[in-house]
Structure 1
């Protein structure tokens, strides 16, 4: 995993963090028809409040995060009990139905993701430089079972290769995910005051004969 992401957390440069649930999650997650109670994989989860929303909707959450600072800040958001243990090279914390694994997403093995039935990517793909994004898309495909559905939020901006968050055009998202997923662009959101535009995608993991 690349160091700029960890550096952002250590320096407190986390302008990508939202202080509320992402509106695209609230709007489009119900349209995916994810199996009730399915565990949701959230790669590079940060301290996203989206995980609280998913948990409140009845989904156990498996968040993977490289920066321990992000995990501790997430846990501090709520006065609730925390259990801690180590597994497969990850430091694991659990608070309610949210389980956070501190470590490299690319070291997560399919056995550790055996119960995952859905996924959510708001700031994962866009946190990775171009050379790593293809590896990410392939690894995600290996971790989720055929039929698993998920939501992905992309981002484009005019800051060349500056990031994270990086600008990832829609054409690249299609190229990365179409080999293993059914991919549907459900919304191109308007640019904000910084000229950054989000895209929202519904994905479904293809099976061997799909």
Structure 2
């Protein structure tokens, strides 16, 4: 069994069994603190990879951003829809089953199967739990694929995480500042915004503003 298959199976098992301690019952404080300073224009569509049922998507939608979340777990999508309000439409695009509620679309499928022609309207992104959910061997592929989906000038907010010293389990996985820079500087301009205070378990988050570079930049 490949490392990617193991990660996918673990992720789906967590949702089926309700082991979702990573889910927050409120929008992420770093998103609330820093999103406005990015200057993302009103109405810009925001990509949220590996979105789960994050309330961050509703927070973004409430501020005038259409949201496109990509998620493997049917349980996560069904729970998000059930916990929301408004009519739901369902349709199929390519290899994805799509649910739309208000200005939020949830695409069920593999992020790596999401292609640039499906991302035509996307102008920004938010990653709180995608990069850190992936094993080291897959993170380079993720960074490259994300870059291919975004037009030059696209703005984004990334939250990375470092676990306590000696704690090398995952997911979520430790992705240190040096790795963030190594992964993204070829295609993005990075600005480190803050490091959180370490949590009781020793985990510490870092927050990054990102801008997709243009050709030759």
The TM-score bracket by the shorter chain reads over 0.9
Partner of 2:171: 164
Given the alignment, which residue of 38, 45, 51 partners 2:57? 51
**TM-score computed with the length of structure 1 as normaliser:** 0.98
**TM-score computed with the length of structure 2 as normaliser:** 0.94
Measure, in 2, the Cα distance between the counterparts of 1:78 and 1:47: 10
Whether 1:19 aligns to 2:10 is: no
Task: Measure how far apart 1:167 and its partner are.
Answer: 1.1
In structure 2, runs of 5+ residues without a counterpart are: none
Q: Secondary structure at the match of 1:165?
A: coil
CA root-mean-square deviation? 1.0
Measure, in 1, the Cα distance between the counterparts of 2:93 and 2:210: 29
Q: Secondary structure at the match of 1:31?
A: helix
Given the alignment, which residue of 197, 205, 210 partners 1:198? 205
Whether 1:117 aligns to 2:123 is: yes
Task: Measure how far apart 1:7 and its partner are.
Answer: 2.0
Given the alignment, which residue of 60, 70, 79 partners 1:73? 79
Task: Measure how far apart 1:78 and its partner are.
Answer: 1.7
Measure, in 1, the Cα distance between the counterparts of 2:84 and 2:111: 25
1:60-98 CA distance string (max 9 Å, x none): 000000111100111111232100001101000000000
In structure 1, runs of 5+ residues without a counterpart are: none
Where do 1:3-14 residues align within 5 Å? 3=8, 4-14=10-20
Q: How many residues were matched structurally?
A: 210
